[in-house]
A and B are shown apart, each in its own frame.
Chain A
Amino acid sequence: MSDRFGHLVRAEWTKFRSVRRWVLGLLIAIGLTVVLSTLFASVGGTDANSAPAVADRFHFVHQPMTGDGSVVARVSGQEPSHDWAKAGVMIKQSTASGSPYAAILVTPRNGVRFQADFRTDIGGSGRTAPLWLKLTRSGTTITGYESADGTTWTEVGSVSLSLPQTVEAGMFVASPEIVEIQRQFGGTSIGGRPTLGRATFDNASVSGGEPAKWQHEDIGASMFTSDETGATESGGTFTVSGSGEIIRLQQGDDDLIFNSFTGVVFGLMAVIVVAVLFITSEFKRGMIRTTFAASPRRGRVLVAKALVIGLVTFVAGLAATAGAFLLSQPQFRANGYRPPAYPYVHLFDGVVMRAVVGGALFLALLAVLSLGIGAILRRSAGAIALLIAIFIVPQILFGGLPLNVALWVGRVTPVAGLAIMQTTKRWDTAIDPWPGLGVLAGYAALAMGVAIWQVRRRDA
Chain B
Amino acid sequence: MRSTVYTEWTKLRTVPSSAWLLIGTVVSTVALGSLITASVNTDFCPSPVECFEDTPKLSLTGVYLGQLTVVVLAVLAMTNEYGTRMIQTTLSLAPRRYRVLSAKAIVVTAVVLVAATVGVLGSLLVGRLILPRNGFTPLHGYPPLSLGDGPTLRAAAGTVLYFGLIALLSLGVGAIVRDTAGAITTVVSLLYVLPIVAQFVPDPDVRKFLLEYAPMSAGLTIQVTVGVDLLPMRPWAGIGVLACWASAAMIAGFALFRYRDA
Contact = CB atoms under 8 A, between A and B. Distances in A.
**Touch between chains A and B, by CB atoms below 8 Å:** yes
B17 A379 contact: yes
B69 A385 contact: yes
A385 B202 contact: no
A397 B36 CA distance: 9
A42 interface: yes
Interface in A392-411: 392-393, 395-397, 400-403, 405
6 closest A-B pairs by beta carbon, nearest first, are A405-B39, A183-B44, A40-B200, A185-B52, A385-B72, A381-B72
A277 interface: yes
Contacts of B200: 36, 39-40, 43, 262
Contact of B193 (A40, A266, A381, A403): A266
B114 to A, nearest CB: 20
B17 A388 contact: no
A163 to B, nearest CB: 45
A382 B72 contact: yes
Interface stretch (B2-10, B115-123, B181-189): B181-189
Contacts of B195: 396
A405 B40 CA distance: 9
A389 B51 contact: no
A388 B68 contact: yes
Nearest to B69: A385
A277 B185 CA distance: 12
B46 interface: yes
19 contacts: A36-B200, A39-B197, A184-B45, A184-B50, A184-B51, A185-B54, A186-B57, A186-B58, A186-B226, A269-B193, A276-B181, A284-B83, A381-B181, A382-B72, A388-B184, A388-B192, A395-B196, A400-B36, A401-B40
A184 B185 CA distance: 34
Contacts of B72: 381-382, 385
Contacts of B45: 182-184
Contacts of B180: 380-381
Contact of A396 (B44, B64, B76, B201): B64
Nearest to B207: A43
B65 interface: yes
A388 to B, nearest CB: 5
B221 interface: no
Interface in B122-156: none
A396 B199 CA distance: 12
B212 interface: no
A396 to B, nearest CB: 6
A402 B58 CA distance: 12
Interface string A375-391: 00001111011001100
Q: Is the interface of B mostly helix, strand, loop or mixed?
A: helix
Interface of B: 17, 28, 36, 39-41, 44-46, 50-54, 57-58, 61, 64-65, 68-69, 71-72, 75-76, 83, 180-181, 184-185, 188-189, 192-193, 195-197, 200-202, 226-227
Contacts of A400: 36, 61
A273 interface: yes
B50 A269 contact: no
A395 B226 CA distance: 23
Contact of A269 (B17, B46, B83, B185): B185
A379 B191 CA distance: 22
Contacts of A392: 188, 192-193
A403 B51 CA distance: 15
A249 interface: no
B69 A401 contact: no
Contacts of B201: 39, 43
A402 B61 CA distance: 13
Given A381-B72, A397-B64, 19 more contacts: A36-B197, A182-B44, A183-B44, A184-B50, A262-B200, A266-B196, A379-B17, A381-B75, A384-B185, A385-B68, A385-B71, A385-B72, A388-B188, A389-B28, A389-B68, A402-B39, A402-B40, A402-B41, A405-B39
A401 B184 contact: no
Interface string A82-93: 000000000000
Contacts of B76: 381
Contact of B202 (A43, A181, A182): A43
B184 A381 contact: yes
A42 B202 contact: yes
A351 interface: no
| Most chain A beta-carbon contacts within 10 A, residue among B61, B69, B195, B200 | B200
Contact of B65 (A43, A185, A393): A393
A347 interface: no
A277 B192 contact: no
A265 interface: yes
Contacts of A393: 64-65, 68, 192
A188 interface: yes
A181 B40 CA distance: 13
A401 B36 contact: yes
A69 to B, nearest CB: 49
Contacts of A36: 197, 200
A388 B196 CA distance: 15
A315 B39 CA distance: 40
Nearest to B83: A284
B189 A185 contact: no
Contacts of B75: 381
A33 B153 CA distance: 42
Contacts of A262: 200
B39 A401 contact: yes
B54 A186 contact: yes
Contacts of B46: 182, 184
A185 B61 contact: no
Given A185-B52, A185-B227, A269 B189 contact: yes
A159 to B, nearest CB: 41
B15 to A, nearest CB: 11
Contacts of B53: 183, 185-186
A270 B185 CA distance: 8
Nearest to A382: B72
Contacts of A188: 44
| Most chain B beta-carbon contacts within 10 A, residue among A43, A385, A397, A402 | A385
A169 B192 CA distance: 60
Nearest to A37: B200
A265 B189 contact: no
A185 B17 contact: no
Nearest to B28: A389
Interface string A244-283: 0000000000000000001001100110010011000000
